Amino acid sequence: MRTQPFLALSAVILGLVVLPAAAGAATHELTLSPSGSDSASGSRSAPLRTLGAAWRRIPTGNSGSWLLRLKGGSYRSGAPVYWERRGGPITIESVDGRDAARLAGMNVYRVNGLTLRGLRLDDGGDVFHCELCKRVLLDHVTLRGNGAQETIKVNQSSDVTVADSDVSGAGDNNFDAVAVRRIKLLRNHFHDAEDWCGYAKGGSTEVIVRGNLFSECGTGGFSAGQGTGMQFMASPLTHYEASSVLIEGNSVRDTEGAAFGVNGSANVLIRRNVATRIGARSHVLEVGYGSRSCDGRPGDAGRSRCASYIRAGGWGTTVVDDGDNFIRIPNSNVSIYDNVIANPVDAASQWQVFSVAGARPGASGGVPRGKRADDGLRIVGNAIYDGGADHSLGIGDGNCRSGSSCAPARVIAENEINGRIPTVTQRSDGWLEVAGWAASLPSHRPPAPSLSGRVRPEPQLWRRWP
């Protein structure tokens, strides 16, 4: 698809190259170079100069398949302010190697089928912000926040994948997904954020977080759920903060807070992850409530959706959070299986191994009576060293009650905690490895649950893992 023996005359006249796509449809190709001209054809021998000129040549709506080939250099000048209302697939790629083509931040709206490959984005507010998008892939992309609120921000979208990319520098969170269906984070490095390295919240569902490295972040590594203004959710996923979440095979190191969190989510499986040097200001794993309010001020645009979602059965409130009157969102069916966590002997978490919330007061907001943060919590087969026998486990009578699936006696019996020290080493690429006894955790335990077989608290939850 990249090389052709000839160019159709009509394509040259129109300023674009038409290539046969693998499925038989035509792919329109445009080449760009910082030394090109926006009055050129956009062919490989006569490249355009700016992304704005290339974007304007893509028709709005369902525009067929497009490939924008970027030669090395900066494309910050002349880029669109808003990348909006295009259908694809549209691929924008660096042709001279990863990071060779450099862009400013991208604000994307109602674009379907967008792929960024091999680019570097490092200017602007949120470095990559996509709203109401479908089928988005960031592949081998470098994104530098330089203090931006979020490095990647995705709202009310679907089918979003970030793979083999390097994402850093957020003043808050490096990855922030609100009301997104079907998320995949695969083999990325998320690092150097003030808050979480990443989270999915606001009703996000069908989330796979696999093979990533989370490092040097403030609040923690990755969280399923957090807190959301109800008007930013998407009907009918207006109960849990996140649902059907798999967090598997990741490395977490050098985070001030927990390696992983679950805050107001359902059907979450955290398994076979490795972590070290975590929790210096708190704990190593947390399972707490999510929060729900109606953000902004009375009269602000969009706040009427809060009441609309509540009338339809959503969990929430029409009141602005004043620090206490937000709705506590419980968890359901959280499993933490076969993880290896080893803090250095002289660097335990500040307070305790686990932080698990129990019963909490507050407005119900439609949440069924009696729902808790520890409902269905299972902690099984983990090897954890965090401060030794005298360090608090962090679960007791107020949470993980006697007889529950996460009761303290059961957790102690079904895990190796603060006894033997697992051997965790850092590879040259930053990812972590386990050696010694913890590399083959015991197998005489119930198998890890399959999310596809669980009770689905939302009618739209997926039917099986892909």
Give the residue from 41, 19, 39 showing the smallest Cα distance to 29: 19
**d(Cα 32, Cα 144) in Å, to the nearest integer?**
23
Please state, for a pLDDT cut of 90, what percent of the chain lies above it.
77
Identify whether residues 401 and 288 lie together within a single domain.
Answer: yes
Specify the 3-state DSSP secondary structure of 14. Answer: helix
What is the average per-residue pLDDT within 23-32?
A: 80
408 in any annotated domain: yes
347 in any annotated domain: yes
- Per-residue pLDDT at 2: 32
User: What kind and span of H or E run contains 12?
Assistant: helix 9-14
Identify whether residues 245 and 378 lie together within a single domain.
Answer: yes
220 in any annotated domain: yes
Q: Following CA atoms 134, 135, 139, 144 in sequence, which dihedral angle do they give, to the nearest 10 degrees?
A: 10
pLDDT class of 440 with cuts at 50, 70, 90: confident
Average the pLDDT over each of 86-100, 265-279, 377-391, 441-455 and give the range with the smallest value: 441-455
**d(Cα 186, Cα 165) in Å, to the nearest integer?**
9
- Per-residue pLDDT at 76: 94
465 in any annotated domain: no
Identify whether residues 113 and 257 lie together within a single domain.
Answer: no
Identify whether residues 309 and 438 lie together within a single domain.
Answer: yes
Neighbours of 270 (CB within 10 A): 28
What pLDDT digit, counting tens, does each position of 129-157 carry? 999 999 999 999 999 998 889 999 999 99
Show the CA angle centred on residue 223, arms to residues 318 and 439, nearest 5°. 160
What pLDDT digit, counting tens, does each position of 449-463 carry? 555 444 333 333 222
- Per-residue pLDDT at 325: 77
Q: Are 431 and 398 in contact (CB under 8 A)?
A: no
**d(Cα 430, Cα 103) in Å, to the nearest integer?**
26
426 in any annotated domain: yes
Identify whether residues 187 and 113 lie together within a single domain.
Answer: no
Identify whether residues 395 and 448 lie together within a single domain.
Answer: yes
Q: Are 156 and 234 in contact (CB under 8 A)?
A: yes
Give the residue from 156, 158, 300, 310 showing the smallest Cα distance to 234: 156
Identify whether residues 329 and 364 lie together within a single domain.
Answer: yes
- Per-residue pLDDT at 364: 84
Q: How many domains does the chain have?
A: 2
Task: Say if residue 8's pLDDT is above 50.
Answer: no
pLDDT class of 21 with cuts at 50, 70, 90: very low
Identify whether residues 215 and 353 lie together within a single domain.
Answer: yes
Identify whether residues 110 and 229 lie together within a single domain.
Answer: no
Specify the 3-state DSSP secondary structure of 451. Answer: helix
Summarize the chain as % helix, strand, coil (round to 5).
10, 40, 50
Identify whether residues 180 and 307 lie together within a single domain.
Answer: yes
Report the residue count for the chain. 466
Higher pLDDT, 360 or 369: 369
Identify whether residues 181 and 118 lie together within a single domain.
Answer: no
**d(Cα 251, Cα 307) in Å, to the nearest integer?**
41
Task: Say if residue 262's pLDDT is above 70.
Answer: yes
Higher pLDDT, 113 or 147: 113
Q: Is this prediction's pTM over 0.85?
A: yes
CA 79 to chain centre: 26
Strand partners, 162: 138, 185
111 in any annotated domain: yes
What pLDDT digit, counting tens, does each position of 280-298 carry? 999 999 999 999 999 988 7
Host domain of residue 350: 172-453
Task: Say if residue 11's pLDDT is above 50.
Answer: no
Task: Name the DSSP letter for residue 438.
Answer: G
Average pLDDT taken over every residue of the chain? 88
- The pair of structure tokens assigned to 309 is 């979602």
Identify whether residues 264 and 191 lie together within a single domain.
Answer: yes
45 in any annotated domain: yes
User: What kind and span of H or E run contains 410?
Assistant: helix 408-414
- Per-residue pLDDT at 14: 36
11 in any annotated domain: no
- Per-residue pLDDT at 446: 52
